[in-house]
Amino acid sequence: MSTEAPYTIMGVVNVTPDSFSDGGTFEDPVAAIAHARRLVSEGAAILDVGGESTRPGAAPVDAAAEIARVIGVVEGIAGLRLPARVSIDTMKAPVAAAAIDAGAAYVNDVSAFRHDPGMAGLVADRGVGCCLMHMLGEPRTMQLDPRYDDVVSDVKAFLEARLAFAVAAGIPEERIQLDPGIGFGKTLEHNLALLRRLDEIVAIGRPVVLGTSRKSFLGRLTGREAAERAVATAATTVLGYERGARVFRVHDVAATADALAVVAATLASPWPPTTPRTTTTRTS
């Protein structure tokens, strides 16, 4: 019987001064690398390193500044040889190339290869995995009155088109994952519709990445600040898993791992024993 979990947790390692939830917390590479180690101990199998905030209204960062923020962290994490892949969260091919050289094996592009025309060819040539996400417009403008004919159908059509583009660029389909972009150019009602009908996105046939962690729509629903939204995030994780999502990008890895262990055990039997968890924060 296989003991491999039927889902993947992607832990967020932001090295930005202005991310909506933890901006500035892990700007120091030593702190960011220690945080990555901790996320893996809690259950993360991918570590998503980002050097440019994509929160609504975020200012753009040039490639050189972004590289300066992320490369030491990517190198440091890769050097630990943790049981997790390193992902680079970027829209820029030069940043992705530098990160891959430093040890990244996955590119998380919130623009789905639209921002930088060189990104698809880079991913194809370097043989890494990727995530293509739906976003309406760009971070600075995406929340300015977002409108859709039908948000789920529109997002599905977009992701199908970007998947076809990536395959045509030479990226094998099995290396591509898709993200409906919760919170990226969507109202509260749009986000809830995507969660409710997530199985329609799953029907495209590629693993679906769900990124709801600590997002503002959860704050609107619960009245809680970003750092207090782990329980609300876990609720969306359970809903997402039940509807077919299999990759979960989160800040609160331990809570997500517990929620997924329970929902996976409930929906699939037999279930392998869970490895005992610890609360250690040792970094060396």
d(C-alpha 158, C-alpha 23), whole Å? 30
Residue 137, CA atoms < 13 Å, CB-side half-sphere: 19
Catalytic residue among 55, 92, 215, 229: 215
Which amino acid makes up residue 92? K
Burial of residue 120, with CB atoms counted within 10 A of its CB: 0-12 exposed, 13-18 middle, 19 or more buried = buried
Catalytic annotation on 215?
A: yes
For 205-218, letters b (16+ CB in 10 Å) and e give ebbbbbbbbbbbbb
Catalytic residue among 37, 92, 206, 249: 249
CA–CA distances in Å: residue 130 to residues 153, 176, 233, 241, 280:
22, 5, 23, 20, 31
Q: Which residues contact 15 (CB under 8 A, 6 or more apart)?
A: 26, 27, 29, 32, 49, 50, 51, 69, 70, 73
Catalytic annotation on 249?
A: yes
Cβ-based neighbour number of residue 141 at 10 Å: 13
Q: CA angle at residue 30 from 29 to 36, to 5 degrees?
A: 85
d(C-alpha 210, C-alpha 65), whole Å? 28
Indicate which residues carry an active-site annotation. 215, 249
